[in-house]
Amino acid sequence: MPDPDISTDSQQMKRDSIDSNNKAASRQLTSKLPRVGTTIFTVMSTLASEKKAVNLGQGFPDFNCDPALVDAVSSAMQDGFNQYPPMAGVPALRQAIASKIETIYGYRYDAASDITVTAGATQGLLTAIMCAVHPGDEVIVIEPAYDSYVPAIELAGGKPVLVQMVVGADGYSIPWQQIAAAVTGRTRMIMINSPHNPTGSVLSLADIEALKDIVRGTDILILSDEVYEHMVFDGARHESVCRHPELAERAFVVSSFGKTYHVTGWKIGYVAAPAALSAEFRKVHQYNIFTVNTPVQHGIAQYMQNPAPYLELPAFYQRKRDLFRAGLKNTRFKLLPADGTYFLCVDYSAISSLSEADFAIWLTAEIGVAAIPVSAFYQSPRESGIVRFCFAKQDQTLQLALERLAKI
């Protein structure tokens, strides 16, 4: 005959388990980003590692930064710069940023009121959107687009209004008439990105003039993602918003030391904006990240006294672009223009009819080279038969990838 105490204990354990499950169920969150899952970058990098593939997918260098930069940061640590810096950033770094912008682009920002150091460009983008976009506001996003844009808008309660670039034999271009048609009385912001990830396209002066025409006489803000500002090739000029006072006075301009100095893991960038916009930006910034790694800020401020590293960057990456393009000419890929960034898009339609995602997986698993499907940069499925390679790699890495790609 069963022990009545054991039976009672078992029943109580069941009741406790049911209660626990009910409580756990009641703690489930309603997601603010229900459509967001694991990013394609994580998926492809994981697959590349598993298959021992050459990873030309995720956008980061496989070479070291200048040892002088590491020495500058190390010296800052040893000199005792290890406590909280000012919320907006170390004054010497903000001054160095303002001076660089004025020297290159001719626009004068006040280092004290207009420049904020951020924990990478992505935090700068999110903070600009959170401070400026209110529930119901519309934000025009040009696709393909970096994957943080739309989630940031949704977190702010805004509505992304998507306009797709046109792709043809000459690469990607922005249909400005469609941008103008997308503007409504609720449009709060237009997001631009040049040099552009993932397409490698670069805005021309004509593009900038078209943008001016659209926003003139409105209260529309500009959020200009310029993290690849020093990677423009073939002697072309980067048309930063900072070159154009009519746009700069209504813009948040975002850049990245990680991209410029080959230190993506340091997660440090900045946002330049007029004082009124920066004041609102900093209200969100101080309760989001508050401030950024102190010795890194001091080290970069010291390193920026020599402009050569960023002035020489176009030639540095153009040589890698040309090496990679020359090797790909021996394959069945159709090469699209790569006027900026460290990305090259290729059309694989002569090779396969697979979807972009499936082709990228096949390329990684079977050929041993990882790429990113451009379809991942759209909110709704769009197949163009195009994948993106990153050429911010050592020459031997690119040569190994080319050897494998030549087998297709």
- Residue-wise pLDDT for 186-227, tens only, equals 999 999 999 999 999 999 999 999 999 999 999 999 999 999
Q: Which residues does the chain have with pLDDT short of 70?
A: 1-26
Token readout for 129 is 């959107």
Which segments of the chain belong to CATH 3.90.1150.10? 40-59+312-405
Name the nearest CA neighbour of 47 among 59, 37, 57, 36: 57
Over 232-272, what HEC string results?
Answer: ECCCCCCCCHHHCHHHHCCEEEEEEHHHHCCCHHHCCEEEE
User: pLDDT at position 221, please?
Assistant: 98
Which segments of the chain belong to CATH 3.40.640.10? 67-306
For 67-306, CATH gives 3.40.640.10
Q: Which fold has domain 40-59+312-405?
A: Aspartate Aminotransferase, domain 1 (3.90.1150)
Token readout for 64 is 């070291």
Token readout for 358 is 């499936």
Integer Cα distance of 386 and 347 in angstroms: 4
Q: Provide DSSP, 105-162.
A: H-----HHHHEEEESSHHHHHHHHHHHH--TT-EEEEEES--TTHHHHHHHTT-EEEE
CB 255 within 8 A of CB 273: no
Q: Please, which residues have CB within 8 angstroms of residue 327's CB and are 6 or more apart in sequence?
A: 398, 399, 402, 405, 406
Backbone angles phi, psi at 213, to 5 degrees: -60, -35
User: pLDDT at position 173, please?
Assistant: 97
Integer Cα distance of 248 and 226 in angstroms: 13
CB 288 within 8 A of CB 127: yes
pLDDT tens digits, one per residue of 130-159: 999 999 999 999 999 999 999 999 999 999
Integer Cα distance of 159 and 156 in angstroms: 9
